[in-house]
């Protein structure tokens, strides 16, 4: 049964998705403004539960692609995301039943809402990461061995590209990333279409609900003048890793990604220690005094210690007072196949995955 997504939930969704983005997925601020404008113009979004899909329904999987820093500088237009969906429909020769997010992290959690508002389709309460990740092969669909093609890509200059075939998920990432980099390291994409059966079997379900509830917890804690970081940890069954002040940021946009590290000087119980957060769009590994203490696929989240707001890899800066927390990963990401796809070695670190929750 379709359920309307109320306008008052937009801020909660954006707040929670920004936390689940683990530093990536893009700051949701501009997407939030776009979605509010669409609601003001009369658009309404219907939410469809995964188990309500028919097995042969076609589902569009959408996301913005590129480096978060570029996305911060270039204003988003919902028409580009909608056009990526239409381009894929034209290629397939059949319409999509619904639209879903590639990742529930950051602005990409709102991407299907923007397309759906313009196309009149429902949004599926699911994604295929349960967070944000930087590369195409880092999804539950890839872990499940599903097809990685075709893919459509649309940019602001009216360039439209369809990748009709790729040898593997990694090759799809390489080819589509090269196109994205060529058009300025930011584009709207519609990934390989999924059937209703595939979404039911391999999607990560209820993540719109998860993000909205998490965001609501933060907003309510602020309104009560309670500690929003503690509220996040209690609600999401997370663990605090470190508290401190940002003392160094080293980042560069290269190859369509934002890469670098952030150094935090400890305060309170962590005084005298330092924590280094390495990132590729998203926070990947945390090193305390040079030793790895937390890592993907656990969700590493950098939060403002006062407001509980997430801090992205593109917006972290010197002097911020921050809390580093870990949240549990979706179960599929912690399987051997999941760790191979999204664990520390997938990011170039010769480290065995060790969850802070075990």
Q: What angle do CA 73, 76, 78 make, to 5 degrees?
A: 175
**Rounded CA separation 299/273 (Å):** 22
Would you say 15 and 220 are in contact if contact means Cβ atoms under 8 Å apart?
no
Residue limits of CATH 2.40.390.10 in the chain? 227-347
Please say if the pLDDT value at position 216 is more than 80.
yes
**Rounded CA separation 277/327 (Å):** 16
23: region left, alpha or beta (phi > 0 left; psi from -120 to 50 alpha):
left
pLDDT by residue (tens digit) across 274-288?
A: 999 999 999 999 999
**Rounded CA separation 242/170 (Å):** 34
Which spans in 93-227 are helix H?
Answer: 111-119, 140-143, 169-182, 196-202, 207-224
Residue limits of CATH 3.40.1610.10 in the chain? 3-207
pLDDT by residue (tens digit) across 11-23?
A: 999 999 999 999 9
Q: Give domain 227-347's CATH superfamily.
A: CV3147-like (2.40.390.10)
pLDDT score recorded for residue 98: 98
Task: Report if pTM > 0.85.
Answer: yes
Class of domain 3-207: alpha beta
pLDDT by residue (tens digit) across 47-87?
A: 999 999 999 999 999 999 988 777 777 778 999 999 999 99
């Amino acid at each position: 049964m379709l359920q309307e997504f109320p306008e008052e939930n937009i801020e909660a969704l954006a707040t929670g998705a920004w936390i689940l983005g683990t530093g990536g997925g893009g700051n949701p601020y501009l997407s939030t403004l776009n979605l509010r404008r669409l609601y003001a113009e009369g658009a309404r979004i219907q939410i469809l539960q995964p188990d309500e899909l028919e097995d042969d329904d076609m589902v569009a999987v959408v996301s913005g692609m590129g480096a978060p820093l570029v996305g911060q500088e270039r204003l988003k237009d919902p028409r580009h995301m909608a056009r990526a969906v239409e381009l894929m429909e034209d290629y397939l020769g059949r319409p999509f039943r619904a639209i879903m997010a590639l990742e529930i992290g950051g602005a990409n959690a709102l991407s299907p809402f923007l397309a759906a508002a313009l196309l009149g389709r429902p949004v599926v309460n699911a994604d295929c990461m349960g967070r944000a990740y930087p590369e195409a092969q880092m999804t539950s669909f890839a872990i499940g061995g599903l097809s990685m093609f075709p893919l459509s890509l649309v940019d602001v200059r009216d360039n439209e590209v369809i990748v009709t075939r790729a040898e593997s998920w990694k090759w799809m990432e390489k080819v589509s990333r090269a196109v994205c980099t060529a058009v300025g390291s930011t584009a709207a994409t519609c990934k390989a279409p999924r059937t209703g059966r595939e979404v039911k079997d391999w999607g990560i379900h209820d993540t719109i609900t998860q993000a909205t509830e998490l965001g609501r917890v933060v907003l309510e804690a602020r309104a009560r003048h309670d500690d929003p970081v503690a509220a996040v940890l209690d609600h999401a069954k997370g663990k605090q890793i470190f508290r401190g002040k940002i003392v160094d940021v080293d980042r560069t946009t290269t190859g369509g990604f934002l890469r670098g590290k952030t150094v935090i000087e400890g305060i309170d119980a962590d005084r005298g220690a330092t924590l280094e957060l390495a990132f590729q769009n998203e926070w990947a590994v945390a090193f305390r005094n040079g030793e790895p203490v937390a890592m993907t696929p656990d969700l590493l989240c950098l939060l403002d210690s006062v407001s509980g707001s997430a801090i992205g890899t593109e917006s972290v800066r010197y002097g911020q007072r921050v809390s580093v927390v870990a949240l549990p990963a979706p179960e599929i990401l912690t399987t051997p196949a999941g760790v191979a796809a999204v664990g520390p070695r997938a990011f170039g670190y010769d480290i065995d995955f060790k969850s802070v929750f075990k």
